[in-house]
A and B are shown apart, each in its own frame.
Chain A
Amino acid sequence: MIKNMTCINCPLGCQLKVEVDGEIKVSGNKCKRGEEYAKNEITNPLRIITTTVKVEGGDRPLLSVKTDKEIPKSKIFDIMKEINKVKINAPVEIGDIIIENVLGTGANIVATSKIQRAD
């Protein structure tokens, strides 16, 4: 099978052709980083999720959060479901852990903004 993808490691954005039968063969890359990228994208694509959770009693209704590590791309929507179940109480500091080890990925969901108690 041949897969087409775009390398994102520099503005050139090489169009990569990736053969995935047995050994992974990459062509179209102008440098080594393209090959590495394609291999990772085929074997284990990883992403950071950034989203929000609801806040109770805060100076604003939403807290922005992120995964503190990259998580498998295939788990994005499952993790979103977990995050959307949560409601937390103000105050919150940047870096506070909102969900530990989300779905056993080893990544925590952490706060990326500061929320004060509404007064």
Chain B
Amino acid sequence: MERDLVIIGGGPAGLAAAIEAKKNGIDDILILERDKRLGGILQQCIHNGFGLHVFKEQLTGPEYAQRFIDEVEKLGIEYKLESMVLHLGEDKKIIALNPKDGLFEIEAKAVVLAMGCRERTRGALNIPGSRPAGVFTAGAAQRFVNMEGYMVGKKVVILGSGDIGLIMARRMTLEGAEVKMVVELMPYSTGLKRNIVQCLEDFDIPLLFNHTVTKIHGKERVEGVTIAKVDDKRQPIEGTELFVECDTLLLSVGLIPENELTREAKIEINPVTNGAYVNELMETSIEGIFACGNVVHVHDLVDFVTQESFLAGYGAAKYIKGEKSNSANKFKTKGLNGIRYVVPNIIHPENVKDAVNFYMRVSDVYHNVNLIVKDGDKVLYKSRKNHVSPGEMENVKLSKDILQKVEGDELVFELEEVAI
């Protein structure tokens, strides 16, 4: 089978990319999704707070997803469910599998990678102890509770205070479980303030900073965990151990972009984000293969996923129509002094539509800093920030006009202290 555009993944990223490509004149589009329905991880995120930027209202995850699913249906974009992509080649040949067609091959003119991310598991953490039942990632627990109606436990300890962990603390409490505490390794939470207040404080659930789980007890089922304080190097401090009785441990310790296919296609991956390097059109190191959403870098707001994915769809359409400029005029982006990474990584100013939204994360919590963008010594942008945190993605919008005037071969994003 030959197709103009194949989109791998039918979450918010894939859906938005498909919609924008279609609106830009591409008719032959196929979305491949391994799940039984479209919508990605949003299907299980039943809490509200999605869509404030894109729709100016607070939606739940399924409501947000449905708006895009309805649009895909309305535009007549083809999709295949229960279709798992197994292989992607440098030549854009795709091998996929589904119950109806069996194994099938597609030659695509352009591809959009929108596979999302997965959660870090206990294996990535190395907590000693046997492997009893009752240890779940927070996302897996979310799926069991919200999609299948299976309560994963009655007495719960949560490791990690990212948003998914916080949301699950409230969810389990509402369903009658006792959430004993949330344990956080760092001295701060990467979760939203709103979630700390409305998911923990509302229910008097303690949040312990500078603590970790050092042991899981129990043979068949979790019977408890040992927690301990950690020092500056995040190492457990001897003598601070405490046994906490529980039957369930939820891990909310971070997400990793799902990039097996990307690696297979030999696309260059940024070791900091674990996602592909991308340019101003969200194109990877292989021409005609684009990427967007959590597969590129982990987002906390789905609204930004949507914006970035519209761009990938627009880029793919340009490429298929042969309208993309391949001029050698380009520069790179780089994060320095407190900016851990910047996306996108390469800019060809000619291809920019009106402006580029640069997304970035800081490496620590800082107060009273300027976020600045420099072309050599020239400051192109400066914005005062009272508070920045690794948990909140920052973004800087620079117009095509400004980008066309960049002289150096590198645009540097950094933080500087504000002299008071």
Residues of A at under 8 Å CB distance from B? 5-8, 11-13, 47-52, 54, 60-62, 64, 66, 73, 76-77, 80, 94, 112-114
- Residue pair A6, B201 in contact (C-beta under 8 Å): yes
Q: How far is the CB of A10 from chain B (nearest CB, A)?
A: 8
Known contacts A11-B387, A11-B389, A50-B60; decide if A113 and B193 are in contact (CB<8 Å).
no
Stretch at the interface among B141-149, B211-219, B249-257: B141-149
- Residues from chain B with a CB closer than 8 A to the CB of A52 are 46, 146, 149
B392 close to A (CB within 8 Å): yes
- Residue pair B149, A62 in contact (C-beta under 8 Å): yes
B43 close to A (CB within 8 Å): yes
Known contacts A6-B201, A50-B47, A64-B146; decide if A11 and B62 are in contact (CB<8 Å).
no
CA distance A11 to B190 in the complex (A): 11
B198 close to A (CB within 8 Å): yes
B197 close to A (CB within 8 Å): yes
- Residue pair A51, B392 in contact (C-beta under 8 Å): no
- Residue pair A62, B147 in contact (C-beta under 8 Å): yes
B98 close to A (CB within 8 Å): no
- Residues from chain B with a CB closer than 8 A to the CB of A61 are 148-149
Looking across the interface, which residue of chain B has its beta carbon closest to that of A51? B174
- Residues from chain A with a CB closer than 8 A to the CB of B59 are 112
Contacts of B27-65 to chain A: CB distance below 8 A: 43, 46-48, 58-60, 62-63
Known contacts A6-B193, A62-B149, A66-B60; decide if A113 and B198 are in contact (CB<8 Å).
no
- Residues from chain B with a CB closer than 8 A to the CB of A73 are 202
21 CB-based A-B contacts, threshold 8 Å: A6-B193, A8-B192, A8-B197, A8-B198, A11-B389, A11-B392, A12-B387, A47-B202, A51-B46, A52-B149, A61-B148, A62-B146, A64-B46, A64-B146, A66-B46, A66-B48, A66-B60, A80-B174, A113-B46, A113-B60, A114-B66
- Residue pair B46, A112 in contact (C-beta under 8 Å): yes
Q: Give the contacting residue for B197; candidates A6, A62, A76; CB below 8 A.
A: A6
Q: Give the contacting residue for B63; candidates A11, A49, A113; CB below 8 A.
A: A113
Residues of B at under 8 Å CB distance from A? 43, 46-48, 58-60, 62-63, 66, 146-149, 171, 174-175, 192-194, 196-198, 201-202, 386-387, 389, 392
- Residues from chain B with a CB closer than 8 A to the CB of A50 are 46-48, 60
Q: How far is the CB of A91 from chain B (nearest CB, A)?
A: 14
Q: Give the contacting residue for B386; candidates A12, A66, A76, A77; CB below 8 A.
A: A12
Q: How far is the CB of B36 from chain A (nearest CB, A)?
A: 8
- Residues from chain B with a CB closer than 8 A to the CB of A60 are 147
Q: How far is the CB of B149 from chain A (nearest CB, A)?
A: 5
CA distance A5 to B196 in the complex (A): 11
- Residue pair A48, B197 in contact (C-beta under 8 Å): no
Q: Which 8 A-B pairs have the closest CB atoms?
A: A113-B62, A64-B46, A13-B193, A8-B194, A112-B60, A50-B47, A8-B193, A8-B197
- Residue pair B148, A48 in contact (C-beta under 8 Å): no
- Residue pair B196, A6 in contact (C-beta under 8 Å): yes
Known contacts A6-B193, A54-B149, A61-B148; decide if A112 and B63 are in contact (CB<8 Å).
yes
Q: How far is the CB of A51 from chain B (nearest CB, A)?
A: 6
Looking across the interface, which residue of chain A has its beta carbon closest to that of B202? A73
Q: How far is the CB of B201 from chain A (nearest CB, A)?
A: 7
Looking across the interface, which residue of chain B has its beta carbon closest to that of A37? B197
If A94-B62, A114-B66 are given as contacts, then 15 extra A-B residue pairs at C-beta distance below 8 Å, sorted by A number, are: A6-B196, A11-B192, A47-B198, A48-B48, A49-B174, A50-B46, A50-B48, A51-B46, A60-B147, A61-B148, A64-B60, A66-B48, A76-B202, A112-B63, A113-B43
Looking across the interface, which residue of chain B has its beta carbon closest to that of A30? B386
- Residues from chain B with a CB closer than 8 A to the CB of A54 are 149
Task: Identify which of A49, A76, A112 gathers the most chain B CB atoms within 10 Å of its CB.
Answer: A112
Known contacts A62-B146, A66-B48, A80-B174; decide if A113 and B66 are in contact (CB<8 Å).
yes
Known contacts A11-B392, A47-B198, A112-B62; decide if A62 and B193 are in contact (CB<8 Å).
no
